Structure 1
Amino acid sequence: MTTPPTTPLAKGGNVPWRHPQADVRIDGLPPQASVLAFLVGPDGRVRNDADFVFFNNPSVPGVAVDGHRAAIDLAAVPDGVDKVVVAAVQDDADPAPLAASPLAVTVGPDGTSLPVTGLTTERAVVVAEIYRRAGQWKLRNVCAGWTEGFAALVRAHGVDVEDEGPGETPAASGPGAPPAPVPAPGPAPAINLRKPGIDAVDLGTRTGTINLRKGEQVTITRTPLIVATCTWPRATDYDIFALVRYRDGRTETVSTFGTADAPHDVRPATADGAVRHGGDVGRTQGTKPRGWRRKATPTIGSDLGRESVEITLNPQIAAVVPVVYSAQSNGTGSFRRYQVSMAIDNGSTEQGGGDTVTIDATSASADDAVYTCVPGIIINDPDGVRIQFLELYSAPGSEHRPVVGDDLIVRMDAGPLNAFK
Structure 2
Amino acid sequence: MTPGSNLPLNSVRVTVDVAAPVRLDVSALLLTADGKVRSDADFIFYNQPSGPGVGYRSGGGATPDAITVDTSAVPAGIEKIVVTASPDAAGQTFQGIEPTATVRNADDNSVIATFTPPQLGTETALVVVEVYLRGGVWKVRAVGQGYANGLAGIATDFGVSVDEEPAAATPAPAAPQAPQAPQAPPAAPPAATPTWGTPATAGTPAPPAPPAAPTAAGTGGKINLDKGRVNLQKNQTVSLVKGGRPLLSQVKMGLGWEPAFRGRDIDLDASVIAYGPQRNHLDSCYFGRLSILSGAVKHSGDNLTGEGAGDDEVIVVDLGRLPAEVTGLVFTVNSFSGQKFTEVAKAYCRLIDAASGEELVRFDLTTAEPQTGVMMAKLIRQFSGEWEMTAMGEFVKSRTVRGMVKPAAQAL
TM-score, with normalisation over the residues of structure 2?
0.38
Structure of larger gyration radius: 2
